[in-house]
Amino acid sequence: MATVNGDAIGNILVGTNLGDNLFGFSGDDILAGGLGDDALEGGSGNDVLGGGDGDDRLDGGPGFDVMVGGNGDDIYIVDNVEDVVVETDFNGGSDTIISSVDHQLGDHFEGIVLSGNGNLDASGNSLDNGLVGNSGRNQMFGLGGDDSFLASAGDDRMDGGTGIDTVDYTMMNTTITLRAAGEIHKDGLGVDRVTDVEVIAGAAGRNNQINASTSLGSPVFVNVNLSEETLRVNGIPGVEAQLLTVRNFVDVVGTSQNDLITGNALANNLSGGTGNDFIDGAGGDDILNGDAGADSLFGGQGSDILFGGLGSDLLVGGNGDDTLLGYGLYPRVRLTPSWVAVVATSLPWEMPPMVDIILPL
């Protein structure tokens, strides 16, 4: 490995077949890396950097720089909108730009990372791109390909374009709430707006929520199955239906229409909203709330709490020690000898079989 330093005059620095460190410092420099994994830094001035083969890091520094990669997985540092970056590896590699200015990926680049805390924009290309924001207000566009957006703090807009695109919140390790019109609230760290994406992934171990109560209008209703990680939004004007993959979500709030909501193995909090809803807790110790309407609530596995809400509701406890709470009109309660339940109602009614306690509301 060789380390070669330039001076205040424009230099021509050429590396070896090993991994080299070439520093141009002042002046308009030409740096050529060679065959190894090289680090090239132009310094001030308008520099030309060529990485050659290997996994290279190219940083032009201040000035209007030209950076050309080659074979291998290269990293380019862009700090000026006039910088020119060219990737000549047509046959593979994963090449990434780290940019402190607005930037659109050219051909053969796979990733872009926005640095600093400025309000920056980034765009991908026709490949499967990875786009990473910073702490500022970003606008990121995937364009073609199956793109992945790694979310960060700030009020960001992410548009996947064509392909199967993902917005990933796992690295933020914060609770998110998915609302109508693609709004994602990040627990005080900003509100994102996502469009043309097919997968939304929250951080594991957080009570991430799908809240459809602020839906786009009265025709909209949802089918949510947390076990299958699917969210289908129905009745969108001009679209009819949209299907999303939703990972690591725990809680759901439905719309004002008739929703179908199914939990997963975690302890879910599932609310139907107004409308005649069907809610199945599946596994876990769940809280199910039908709210208004004639709802059907099924606890499934675990020790569940079922609130019928207003209307004539069907409450089915399932396995485990369940609590069934009706209100208003008589709820219908379905039990088997293996279930133990506590039932509450606002009206007097007869003790159903296998119900231990009736509590007045």
Whether residues 214 and 359 share a domain: the answer is yes
Residues 6+ apart with CB under 8 A from 110: 94, 95, 96, 127, 128, 129, 130
Stretch 83-89: mean pLDDT, rounded?
Answer: 89
Instruction: For the chain, give the percent of residues with pLDDT over 70.
Output: 88
Q: In the listed set 89, 124, 156, which residue is the last one of a domain according to the structure?
A: 89
Closest CA to 269 of 323, 317, 209: 209
- Residue 57 and residue 77: Cα distance in Å, rounded? 8
Pair (46, 105) in one structural domain = no
pLDDT for 348 equals 43
> 99 and 117 in contact (C-beta within 8 Å)?
no
Mean pLDDT in residue range 343-361: 46
Q: pLDDT tens, 257-310? A: 999 999 999 999 999 999 999 999 999 999 999 999 999 999 999 999 999 888
111 falls in which pLDDT band (50, 70, 90)?
very high
Q: What is the pTM of this model?
A: 0.89
List, as one string, the DSSP characters of 44-67.
SS--EEE--SSS-EEE--SS--EE
**One domain, residues 73 and 167:** no
Is residue 57 located within the same domain as residue 103? no
Q: Provide the domain limits for residue 22.
A: 1-89
> For the purposes of burial, counting CB atoms within 10 Å of the CB of 357, is it exposed (0-12), middle (13-18) or buried (19 or more)?
exposed
Question: What is the overall mean pLDDT for the chain?
Answer: 89
pLDDT of the residue at 349: 46
Q: Are 148 and 130 in contact (CB under 8 A)?
A: yes
> Quick one: 195 and 231 in the same domain?
no
> Does 332 share its domain with 226?
yes
Give the residue-averaged pLDDT of 160-185: 96
Q: Are residues 85 and 134 in the same domain?
A: no
Which of 137, 170, 203 is the last residue before a domain boundary? 203
As a whole number of angstroms, the distance between CA 56 and CA 72 comes to: 7
- Tell me: do 230 and 262 sit in the same domain: yes
The mean pLDDT of 26-46, rounded to a whole number, is 93
The per-residue pLDDT for 279 is 98
Cα–Cα distance measured from residue 352 to residue 344, given in angstroms and rounded to the nearest whole number: 12
- Tell me the average pLDDT across 15-39: 91
217 and 82 together in one domain: no
Phi/psi at 201 (5° precision):
-115, 120
Total domain count, the chain: 3
Q: Say yes or no: 343 and 234 in one domain.
A: yes
How far is 306 from 286, CA to CA, in rounded Å?
A: 8
The whole-number pLDDT of residue 326 equals 76
Q: Is the pLDDT of residue 2 over 50?
A: yes
Q: How confident is the model at residue 218 (pLDDT cuts 50, 70, 90)?
A: low
What mean pLDDT comes out for the span 196-205? 98
Pair 117, 43 in one domain: no
Euclidean distance between the first and the last CA atom of the chain, given in angstroms as a whole number: 79
Q: Last residue of some domain: 35, 68, 89?
A: 89
Do 19 and 130 sit in the same domain of this protein?
A: no
3-state secondary structure 290-349: CCCCCCEEECCCCCCEEECCCCCCEEECCCCEEEEECCCCCCEEECCCCCEEEEEECCCC
